[in-house]
Amino acid sequence: MRYQATWDDGRIIDLPVGKAICVGRNYVAHAQELNNPIPDEPLLFMKPSSSFQSFGSEITLREDLGEHHYEAELVILIGSVVDRDTVNYADAVIGVGLGLDLTLRSVQTRLKSQGLPWERAKAYDGSCVLTPFTPVSQHHNLHDSEYRFWINGELKQHGDTSLMINSVEALIANIAQVFSLYPGDIVMTGTPAGVGSLAHGDKLQLQYENGEKYNSTTIIT
């Protein structure tokens, strides 16, 4: 079943399914836990629309690809064109959600050691798992919001956007100098410390602020 973005009340979002611009190492503690240097500018990579799947009752992943590692992130939904001539980047943000940037860590490590691109480890089918989105209002504070990720009832990651190296608006401004963003595109803003692997049958939960907890089960086939 092809992915379609929804609002948190179940309504379909009437936008095309776009691309994901992802940000690596946007939390100091996460960079440190993987022994990576802190970048001087946002570290950007892409996931195609074919990588999108919903954080629904089940998340299906392929065992033959290797071990899948989770990275829980705040996700921004873009509602209007953003390019290098855009003046107010914040106006383009129409929704906020959560997601898992799934990674084949051993594949990524091998590719990095050879100086090769990461797409095999980051952009594979099903590697971008997304909750429904909450509409963003004028009073929404994306500079100081929190989210949490649990596996089998154990808190694994706690994100706080005030601790991001680059804020949401700064990320969009930087991205727009290189990649134009279009309605339906998303920005994955980076993961806090606490990443690890998923196992078949894991019970997953994601929560933005004190809102609804989204539940899913990992199915590795």
**Phi/psi at 2 (5° precision):** -70, 145
Kindly give the confidence (pLDDT) of every residue in the chain, 221 residues in length, as a single tens digit, with 9 standing for 90 and above: 789 999 999 999 999 999 999 998 898 776 677 666 777 889 999 999 999 999 999 999 999 999 999 999 999 999 999 999 998 888 899 999 999 999 999 999 999 899 999 999 999 999 999 999 999 975 578 989 999 999 999 999 999 999 999 999 999 999 999 999 999 999 999 999 999 999 999 999 999 999 999 999 999 99
**Phi/psi at 129 (5° precision):** -105, 120
- Structural domains of the chain, with CATH: 20-220 (3.90.850.10)
Instruction: Quickly list DSSP for 80-147.
Output: S-B-TT-S-GGGGEEEEEEEEE-EEHHHHHHHHHTT--SHHHHSSTT-EEE--BEEPPTT--TTS-EE
Q: From CA 9, how far away is CA 131, in angstroms rounded?
A: 12
